[in-house]
Structure 1
Amino acid sequence: MRAGRSWRLATGLAAVVVAVVVAVLIVGGRSEDRADPEGGDVPTTPRSLAFVVSEHVDLEPTRAGVDWAADNYRRLFPHPKRAVAASTNFAGDGNIVVVGVSPEREKVGPSCDDGFCADLGDGVRLAWDELAPEEDPGLVVVVAELDTHTVVLRYSGPAITGDPRDLDLPIPVDTMVDIVTDPRVAPTTSQEAVDSGEEIDFWLDGNPVV
C-alpha cells in the first residue's frame, strides 16, 4: 500500500484480503423497490447489511459473515462497538467487499497526496490503490460521510490499473456508491432488511469469510 493510505494502514487492513456482504432471498430476483429504498429505526445487523448489499450487486454471493476482516473495519471508527460491519465474497473468490457503518466519523480520513482519489459529491469520496505486479491487485474504497452516519466500503480482487471509474469492474463504482448511500446501510435500517438478513442461507457463523 502507498504511504498516503495511512488511514488504512493504521487499521492493519493493508495486508488483509477482505470481503463484504451477501445474499439474495428470492432466487434469481432482486427487490422491486431497490430503486427507492427506505430506511427505518431498527438497529442494523451484519446480516441486514449483507442482505442490502446483495440487492445491489449483480453477482452471486458465495459466503458471508463477520470475521476478523470485518472486525478490523469496525476499528476504523473511534468506538468500534457502535459500528456494524460485514464481509462477503461474490462469484467465488475474485470479488471481495467489506462494509462498515457507524454514527461516528472515521479516526483518520483518506489522504489524496498521491492523487489516487476523487470527491464524488454529496459527502462521497472515492480512493484507490493501483496494481503492484506480483504483489497486490490494488483496491477501491468508497467513503460516504452523511448527515447522521459514515459508511466505508472496500472492494478488492480485480486488478486496479487506473481510475476505477474508467475500468470495466465486475462491481462498478456506481454500484458501490449506490450501496454506501442506500438509507438502509446506516446505524438503523428497515425491519424488512433485518428480517431478510436472518433468512440468508450462506452466512457463516463463527467462521472466516476469506
Structure 2
Amino acid sequence: MTRRWTALLAVAFLLAGCGSSATEADDGASEKPTPAPSVSIDPADLKPGNQPATPEALAAIALQHARVVPEEFDGGDDYFEQDEVGTVLMWGDDRSLEVKAGAVDDDLLSTWCREGMSGCVEVKTEAGTTTVGWDLASDGTPGQVMASYQAGGEERRAAYLGEKITADPRKLDLEVSVGDLVALVTDPRLGTKTTAKMTKAQVSGFPSEGANGDNEVALTAGAIAAELLETKAYADIDSFAKADVSTYGKGAIGVVGTRPDGSTITAIHAPNLPAAQRKCPKALTCSKGDTDGYDGWTEGSAETVRCHPAEGDQRAFCAVVRQEAPAPFPGDDLDPVLTGLEGALETLWPTVSAESARRGESLVG
C-alpha cells in the first residue's frame, strides 16, 4: 500500500470525473457559488510555525489565497502518505483544490514536467523558485494546474482541477489562478508544521474526524473488526474474537472473524513480526517472493503477508490476513479469495479514525 505523488495525481483525475466542467465562456447559464470575500493576511502572521499541521489548518491557509467556497472536503489515506499532511477542497462542477506538504522524494513536479506535462515553467518569488506545471484539457478531461515549492526539507504542492485548461494557465482567467497557487505553496505557514494560530483555525463545513485524516488514533482490535465489516469481501462476518497473537511479535493485535459458512478471517497488525514469519511456509504454494511478504495458499486456506518499512513518523510494521474454509474454495478459484485478502490489508495500518475505533468497541470482547 505505497501511495506516492503518482497515486495522488491518479486519484485527482478520478475526482475530477470524465465529464469536463464548462467555464463561464462555455456555458453562460452555469451557476457558480459566490466567491468567498478576500482575506487580508497580516504580514506578521506569515512566518513558519512549530506545531504539527492538520488538514483543517491547511484548508484554512488555502482559503486565504483561493477565493472559493468549498462544499465538501476529502483526503486522508486515500490521497496522502503517513508522513504527509493535506486535504482536498471540492466545489461546483467537479472542481477541486488539493494542498499538501510532505518529505521531498523523487516524485517531484519537475519530474512530471520532464515526463510530458503540457507545459512547465519556473516562477521566481521573494520566497524562492516555484515549479508550475499543467496539462491541457483533452478527451473529456479538463486538465489541471499544479504548483510545487521546496523549503525546509519538504515539498509543498497544490493542484487545481475541474476548470478547462485550454492554454498556458497564466494567460487564463481561472477561478484559482497560477498566482493563487504560487502564493499558497510559498506561504511559510504551509508545511507539516504550522503556527499555533492556524492549528486553531476553524473552516466552515470541515469534518471533525475521519476522511481528512484528523482525529486519528492508534489502531485497536475493535477498529480492525469495524474496518473489515466495511470491506465488500467480509461484510458478512457475523462475530469477532481477539486473535491469538503470541507468535507474532511484541505489540501485535488482531481479530478472528467468523462468517455464516463457517469460514474465518484472521487479520493481524504486527509491528515486530519475526523474520521467519515473513517468508512463505513450506505447507503453502506462494507467489511474490519473500522480501516484503507473500501470497500463499493450499486447499481451503490462503494468507497474505505484507511488511512496510518505517517512513517519516510511521514505524515499520507487517500486516497478516488469513482465510480458512471448512472445505476447498469454490471451484478452486483463488482470485476472489486473494482479492479479499488484499483489501483486508488496508484495515491494518497503524492509525485509524476515532470513529472506527468507537464502532469497534462493541464488536470484540
For the aligned pair, the TM-score class normalised by the smaller chain equals: 0.7 to 0.9
CA distance in 2, matches of 1:179, 1:34: 14
Amino acid in the other structure paired with 1:124: T
Radius of gyration: which is bigger?
2
Task: Tell me the TM-score normalised to structure 1 length.
Answer: 0.75
Counterparts of 1:4-153 in structure 2, within 5 Å, are 8=6, 12-13=10-11, 15-17=13-15, 28=37, 30-33=39-42, 37-67=46-76, 71-72=78-79, 74=80, 80-90=81-91, 92-108=92-108, 109-112=111-114, 114=116, 116-121=119-124, 122-133=128-139, 135-153=140-158
Please list every run of 5 or more consecutive structure 2 residues that lacks an aligned counterpart in the other structure: 17-35, 213-365
Amino acid in the other structure paired with 1:206: G
CA distance in 2, matches of 1:14, 1:51: 20
Q: Deviation at 1:28?
A: 4.8
Please list every run of 5 or more consecutive structure 1 residues that lacks an aligned counterpart in the other structure: 1-6, 19-26, 75-79
Cα RMSD (Å) of the superposition?
2.7
Q: Deviation at 1:162?
A: 1.0
Secondary structure of residue in 1 paired with 2:68: coil
Instruction: Determine if contact 2:144/2:159 at 8 Å carries over to the other structure.
Output: yes
Secondary structure of residue in 2 paired with 1:206: coil
Q: Which has the higher contact order (CA 8 A, sep 6+)?
A: 1
More strand per residue? 2
Instruction: Determine if contact 1:61/1:89 at 8 Å carries over to the other structure.
Output: yes
Q: Deviation at 1:31?
A: 4.4
CA distance in 2, matches of 1:102, 1:120: 21
Amino acid in the other structure paired with 1:98: E
Identity over the aligned pairs, expressed in percent? 24
CA distance in 2, matches of 1:49, 1:10: 17
CA distance in 1, matches of 2:13, 2:41: 38
Alpha-carbon deviations, 1:110-162, whole Å to 9, x = none?
233545111213331111110114x2011111111224310121110110001
Task: Tell me the TM-score normalised to structure 2 length.
Answer: 0.45
Q: Deviation at 1:165?
A: 0.5
1:170 is aligned to 175
CA distance in 2, matches of 1:173, 1:57: 10
Instruction: Determine if contact 1:106/1:150 at 8 Å carries over to the other structure.
Output: no
Instruction: Determine if contact 1:49/1:185 at 8 Å carries over to the other structure.
Output: yes
Distance 1:67 1:82, change over 3 A: closer
CA distance in 1, matches of 2:44, 2:141: 35
Amino acid in the other structure paired with 1:61: P
Alpha-carbon deviations, 1:26-58, whole Å to 9, x = none?
x85624416861221001111100111111111
CA distance in 2, matches of 1:102, 1:44: 11
Alpha-carbon deviations, 1:47-99, whole Å to 9, x = none?
1001111111112222223256xx33x2xxxxx21111101114x23531111
Size of the aligned set, in residue pairs, is 182
CA distance in 2, matches of 1:52, 1:171: 14
Amino acid in the other structure paired with 1:50: A
Instruction: Determine if contact 1:37/1:182 at 8 Å carries over to the other structure.
Output: yes
